[in-house]
Amino acid sequence: MTVAHNPKDLSRTAAPFRLDRARLAELAEMALAAVRRAGASYADIRLGETRRQFVQAKEDRLDEFFESVSPGFGLRVLVDGCWGFYGARSLERGAIAAAVERAIHNARAVAPIRVAPVQIEETEPHVAEWIMPLGVDPFAVDAPAKVERLVAVNAAALAAGADYCVSSFAFATEERLFADSRGSRIFQSRTRTQPSFEVTLIDKASGRFATRESLAPARAAGWEHALSCDLLGEARQAVEDARQKLGAKPVEAGVTDVVIDPTNLWLTIHETVGHSTELDRALGWEANFAGTSFVKPHMLDNLRFGSELMTIKADRSQEGGLASIAFDDDGAPRERAEFEIVSKGVFRNFQMALGQAHLIGAERSNGCAYADDPTAFPIQRMPNISLAPNPEACKLEQLIGGVEKGLYIVGAGSWSIDQQRDNFQFGGQMFYEIRDGKLGEPVRDAAYQGRTIPFWNSLDGLGDASTYRLCGTFTCGKAEPMQLAPVSHGAPAARFRGVTVLNTARD
């Protein structure tokens, strides 16, 4: 049995846990005692609440303000090899007492159609508390201060020549108690912040327009992250970038070399590597949001996923990572989620949740479970998944210098991928010509296309830690009913040879 403590951080303090922990613990004990009496071989319960806030401004006015607090619980039981689950938006004794009977009933109801019994590995119990260190609780900052900041961003863009600018902040705080029948009792709290904007310029003569979105990343952090991002300065630069796009020549379609900035590459990692190596997709259990996966269990330790420069690491410990936490929603400690998915180009590990490991001959899961609400069933979701930087010195200029003719791609844009996570197409915010190893002018109407394995095997240049950046998304969708998960992806700049580039205005 382990006890975790809050990490030391001189610049941050832990925000207070809002919920009554003693009461949550009492409700958990009541539920677990009842399911044991009812004959469950295993049970766990998540109790807590999620707070969300979204603030958006258009030009000089507040456009949208939304805030919600969603308390609740989710009770999961294992009876005769079948999962049963019941959740409700309540933290009252009566609701939880009723949930025990319903969860047991749901488990027994699926027994007639059970193909194989659910098998879960033995797990060590943990008694722990982890509260994410926080600079400023965003929910303690009043709404006028947030609106004032957003309007200032818009004003900076308009003063620089934008026709329109919309900006926003999104915040979320999760407080959870996880308790299981094996003795785990884990309190956790984490907060995340996402700043964003988009500027639009219009060419009145032609009717053409150009946009440029913010490159500011979402972070596991508080209000201090929103303040630390130079959104006003970036808004001015975004206007200049959009102006250059309006006057840029169309991209020349064809096969070329590309250098991809981490602000764009993170999304390619997410879609082609992150989702394709989820075990539930590989097994055909999950097909929502762009299907299953071309990666299959027999490919473990055999598939040449990419070049030897490609090492993709999973973790729940990167500072600021949106998926960083001490324990996942199966109660697995973060150390389980420290593994390599791809090691020097070879596929080594799937992401797994509780009850999946034995299906591929593994001893245990690896800390990849998440439920986006206390009332949701935990499913396999990504931890932070990142491309490791080059251990040898390699600057962005060196990557560009190795390209005779190609493109440098900055910022995530539109994307599309097939139902096996194989064929893909990605846009971007800015595309720059590379000529004779030198960065040139922007081009417009560009996207790059490929297939996952050939693309990653064309990786022949990798930036060092100085080019590394942690990006990610608040809202990775999966499952039915849909669950939204936060996840970060770090990457250095990287160079790929022989990539198909499209002219989206023509192709």
Position 180, amino acid: D
- Based on the fold, state whether residues 327 and 219 are members of the same structural domain: no
The values of phi and psi at residue 413, to 5°, are -135, -140
What confidence tens digit (pLDDT) does each residue in 308-361 have?
999 999 999 999 999 999 999 999 999 999 999 999 999 999 999 999 999 999
Dump pLDDT digits (tens) for 180-203: 999 999 999 999 999 999 999 999
Instruction: Please give the share of the chain, as a percent, with pLDDT higher than 90.
Output: 95
Has residue 472 been placed in a domain?
Answer: yes
Band the pLDDT of 507: cuts 50, 70, 90. low
Determine how many CB atoms are found less than 10 A away from the CB of residue 35. 27
CA angle 498, 502, 504 (to 5 degrees): 165
Token pair recorded at residue 32: 């677990």
Q: Does residue 229 sit in the same domain as residue 284?
A: no
pLDDT tens figures, 334-344:
999 999 999 99
Contact 173, 51 (CB under 8 A): yes
Strand, helix or coil for residue 290: coil
Q: Is residue 5 part of a domain?
A: no
Co-location of 217 and 295 in the same domain:
no
Query: Whole-angstrom Cα distance, residue 217 to residue 473?
Result: 8
Q: What distance in Å separates the CA atoms of residue 152 and residue 323, rounded to the nearest whole number?
A: 30
Asked whether residue 4 is domain-assigned, the answer is no
Q: Which range of residues forms the domain containing residue 400? A: 250-503
255 and 231, same structural domain?
A: no
The last residue of a domain, from among 247, 282, 298: 247
Question: What total number of domains does the chain contain?
Answer: 2
pLDDT of residue 398: 98
One domain for residues 169 and 190? yes
Supply the pLDDT for residue 8: 35
Q: Are residues 347 and 277 in the same domain?
A: yes
Helix and strand numbers (H, E) in the chain are: 9, 27
- Examine the pLDDT at 13 and tell me if it is beyond 90: no
Looking at the domain assignment, is residue 151 inside a domain? yes
Q: Are residues 273 and 420 in the same domain?
A: yes
Select from 201, 231, 247 the last residue of a domain: 247
Establish if 1 belongs to a structural domain.
Answer: no
pLDDT, position 354: 97
pLDDT (tens digit per residue) in 122-144 = 999 999 999 999 999 999 999 99
What stretches of 252-310 adopt beta strand conformation (E)? Answer: 254-260
497 and 427 inside one domain: yes
- Residue 64 tokens, joined: 């949208």
The two tokens of residue 367 are 């800390």
Which amino acid would we find at residue 224?
Answer: E
Is residue 338 domain-shared with residue 393, that is, in the same domain? yes
Using one digit for the tens of pLDDT, what is the confidence trace for 450-460?
A: 999 999 999 99
Q: Is residue 7 part of a domain?
A: no
pLDDT at 17: 81
CB 312 within 8 A of CB 385: yes
Instruction: Tell me if 260 sits within 8 A of 399, measured CB to CB.
Output: no
- Please say which residue of 247, 273, 302 terminates a domain: 247
Q: In what order do the strands lie in the sheet with 346-347?
A: 346-347, 339-343, 312-315, 384-387
Q: Which of 107, 114, 405, 451 is nearest to 271 (CA)?
A: 451
Tell me if 357 is assigned to some domain: yes
Residue 3 has pLDDT above 70, yes or no: no
Confidence band for 7, pLDDT divided at 50, 70 and 90: very low
* Residues 183 and 209 occupy one common structural domain: yes
Residue 316 in any domain: the answer is yes
Cβ contacts of residue 106 below 8 Å, gap of 6+? 84, 85, 86
Rg value, the chain, Cα: 24
pLDDT digits (tens, 9 = 90+) for 472-484: 999 999 999 999 9
Using pLDDT thresholds of 50, 70 and 90, give the confidence band for residue 261: very high
- Same domain, residue pair 257 and 239: no
Residue 314 shares a structural domain with residue 256: yes
In 3D space, the residue among 470, 469, 277, 473 whose CA is nearest the CA of residue 368 turns out to be 277
Q: What is the CATH number of the domain that holds 157?
A: 3.30.2290.10
> Which pLDDT belongs to residue 506?
83
CA-to-CA separations, 452 to 23, 241, 493, 497, in angstroms, rounded: 49, 30, 18, 14
